[in-house]
Amino acid sequence: MDSVAVLLAGCFLIEGELYVYEWTSNATDYSLARYDSLFKKHGTTPEIFMQNVKYYLTNKKYADIIMDKVDKIVDQHAAALREPINLEQ
């Protein structure tokens, strides 16, 4: 369940990146490359990922748990982006 939450959060962040930067001419190629990289990093395939997502999100008990985990992961990434950069050395 934890790995699926990490992957779902990664998907959310990729989609946010595409939206924020408004990729236009190469959006499909860039999106496919980002997702391919995400799945390879976690040692899975889109098909296996989708099977796991379907399993967890169609079960109310698991759906709430996994979405809470996704929310926490995304919040951690967002907090890191909001931290000021220390340029002093």
Contact 7, 57 (CB under 8 A): no
**3-state secondary structure at position 57:** helix
Where along the chain do its domains lie? 2-80
Residue 89 has pLDDT above 60, yes or no: no
- This prediction has a pTM of 0.76
pLDDT in tens, 46-80: 999 999 999 999 998 899 999 999 999 999 888 77
Portion of the chain with pLDDT greater than 90, in percent: 56
